[in-house]
A = this chain, B = another copy of it.
């Protein structure tokens, strides 16, 4: 089940990467690379930082195939994606939750402090987008106006709070994910933003 959600996350993140690449008028190779780093860049950075090498996607070709599928699906159906906007947003939020949990678990596996685990969860879920934006020559959107990373951090705190009460792992994952998904939906619906710190001057 969790594996399926992870695959859905990769798929949806890759679609958003393809759309970014098309938007920047990249060629077929460039668009694929942007899809790849959007989907797997966060996990790759996490693996490099903790020393889990060769990095994850090198040992499991499934991720590559999912990204290829997302690539062609997006190219062929991009006229229709607008109609799926709400579904895509929901799946993207699922990806956010699943990726955060995967990053946290990897930190626990390496015996790291909960704060570092939450950092790794946030990197896993949100730094693919950072690398995408750097490659596209933009200041990363999550540094400017998205509440993305905040959701990851809040989800990570929730994860460790829930973990204290010794829940069954499935329940722990489910509650953490639901909390993050709800948080994000509310954040977008009610336009919650982090303060820009700028106007205070």
Contacts and interface: CB of A to CB of B under 8 A. Distances in A.
Interface in A134-150: 134-140, 142-145, 149-150
Interface string A27-54: 1111101100000000010001111011
Copies in the complex: 3
Interface in A118-153: 130, 134-140, 142-145, 149-150
A34 B197 contact: no
Interface in A45-98: 48-51, 53-55, 58-59, 61, 64, 75, 78
A166 B28 CA distance: 33
A115 interface: yes
A110 interface: yes
Interface in A9-37: 21-22, 24-31, 33-34
B144 A26 contact: yes
A2 interface: no
A113 interface: yes
Most buried by B among A24, A61, A116, A134: A116
Interface size class of A (residues with CB under 8 A): 35 or more
A196 B26 contact: yes
A112 B58 contact: yes
A197 B53 contact: no
Contacts of A149: 29
A195 B27 contact: yes
A115 B64 contact: yes
A194 interface: yes
A152 to B, nearest CB: 10
Nearest to A53: B51
A24 to B, nearest CB: 6
